Structure 1
Amino acid sequence: MPEQSSPQRRGRLFRFGSGLVALLAVAGYLVVQYVTGGSGGPGCKVVSGKGDGASYEFTPEQAVNAATITAVGTARGLPERAVTIALATALQESALRNIDYGDRDSLGLFQQRPSQGWGTPREIMDPTYSAGEFYDHLVKVPGYTRLPLTVAAQRVQRSGFPQAYAKHEPDASLLAAALTGQSAATLTCEGRPGATRASGADGVRAALVRDFGRDVLAPAAAQVDASPSSASTPSPGDTAPSPGDTAASAPSPGTSATTAPSPAAPATTAPSPSGSAGDGGRTVTLPVPPGTPSAGGRGPDQRGWQLAHWAVANASELHIARVAYGGREWVAGSTASEWREAAVAGTAGAERAAETVRIVTMR
Structure 2
Amino acid sequence: MATGVIGVLGFAALAETGAATGPATVVSPVVAAHAEAQRAQEAEDVVSRAERPEPAPPQVAAPQAADNGQKQSTNDAPPAQPPAAQQPPAAPKEEAPKAAPAQLTPVAGLSQVQTENAAAIIRAGAKNGVPQRGMVIAVATAMQESTLLNRASEVLPESKLYPHQGTGWDHDSVGLFQQRTSSGWGPVADLMKPEYAATKFYQGLLQVPGWDQMPLTYAAQAVQVSAFPEAYAPHEPVATAVVQQLLQQGVTNG
With structure 1 as the length reference, what TM-score do the two structures score? Answer: 0.36
Aligned to 1:88: 140
Aligned to 2:114: 62
Q: 1:44 to 1:164 in 2, by over 3 A?
A: farther
Aligned to 1:154: 221
Between the aligned partners of 2:130 and 2:245, the Cα distance in structure 1 is 15
Between the aligned partners of 1:88 and 1:123, the Cα distance in structure 2 is 21
- For residue 121 of structure 1, report the CA deviation from its aligned partner: 1.0
2:184 aligned to which of 111, 117, 124: 117
Between the aligned partners of 1:45 and 1:99, the Cα distance in structure 2 is 20
Q: Residues 205-224 of structure 1: matches in 2 within 5 Å?
A: none
2:250 aligned to which of 303, 306, 310: 306
Residue type of the alignment partner of 2:139: L
Q: 1:128 to 1:45 in 2, by over 3 A?
A: closer
Between the aligned partners of 2:110 and 2:176, the Cα distance in structure 1 is 15
- For residue 44 of structure 1, report the CA deviation from its aligned partner: 5.1
1:177 aligned to which of 215, 221, 244: 244
Aligned to 1:33: none
Contact 1:44 1:58 in 2 (8 A): no
Q: Counting strand residues as a fraction of each chain, which structure ranks higher?
A: 1
Between the aligned partners of 2:245 and 2:204, the Cα distance in structure 1 is 24
Between the aligned partners of 1:142 and 1:93, the Cα distance in structure 2 is 23
Between the aligned partners of 1:45 and 1:72, the Cα distance in structure 2 is 19
- For residue 180 of structure 1, report the CA deviation from its aligned partner: 2.8
Contact 1:137 1:156 in 2 (8 A): yes
Residue type of the alignment partner of 2:147: A
Between the aligned partners of 2:242 and 2:138, the Cα distance in structure 1 is 11
Between the aligned partners of 1:175 and 1:169, the Cα distance in structure 2 is 10
- For residue 128 of structure 1, report the CA deviation from its aligned partner: 1.2
Superposed CA RMSD in Å reads 1.8
- For residue 176 of structure 1, report the CA deviation from its aligned partner: 1.1
Aligned to 1:129: 196
Q: Counting helix residues as a fraction of each chain, which structure ranks higher?
A: 2
Between the aligned partners of 1:129 and 1:100, the Cα distance in structure 2 is 15
- For residue 179 of structure 1, report the CA deviation from its aligned partner: 2.3
Aligned to 1:298: none
Between the aligned partners of 1:172 and 1:126, the Cα distance in structure 2 is 20
Contact 1:138 1:144 in 2 (8 A): yes
With structure 2 as the length reference, what TM-score do the two structures score? Answer: 0.51
List structure 1 runs of 4+ shifted beyond 4 angstroms. none
CA distances 1:161-183 after superposition (whole Å, capped 9, x unpaired): 111100110110001112233xx
CA distances 1:197-222 after superposition (whole Å, capped 9, x unpaired): xxxxxxxxxxxxxxxxxxxxxxxxxx
Percent identity, aligned pairs only? 46
- Please list every run of 5 or more consecutive structure 1 residues that lacks an aligned counterpart in the other structure: 1-42, 47-55, 182-304, 312-356, 358-363
- For residue 100 of structure 1, report the CA deviation from its aligned partner: 0.2
- For residue 115 of structure 1, report the CA deviation from its aligned partner: 0.3
Residue type of the alignment partner of 1:166: A
CA distances 1:49-76 after superposition (whole Å, capped 9, x unpaired): xxxxxxx211111011100000110111
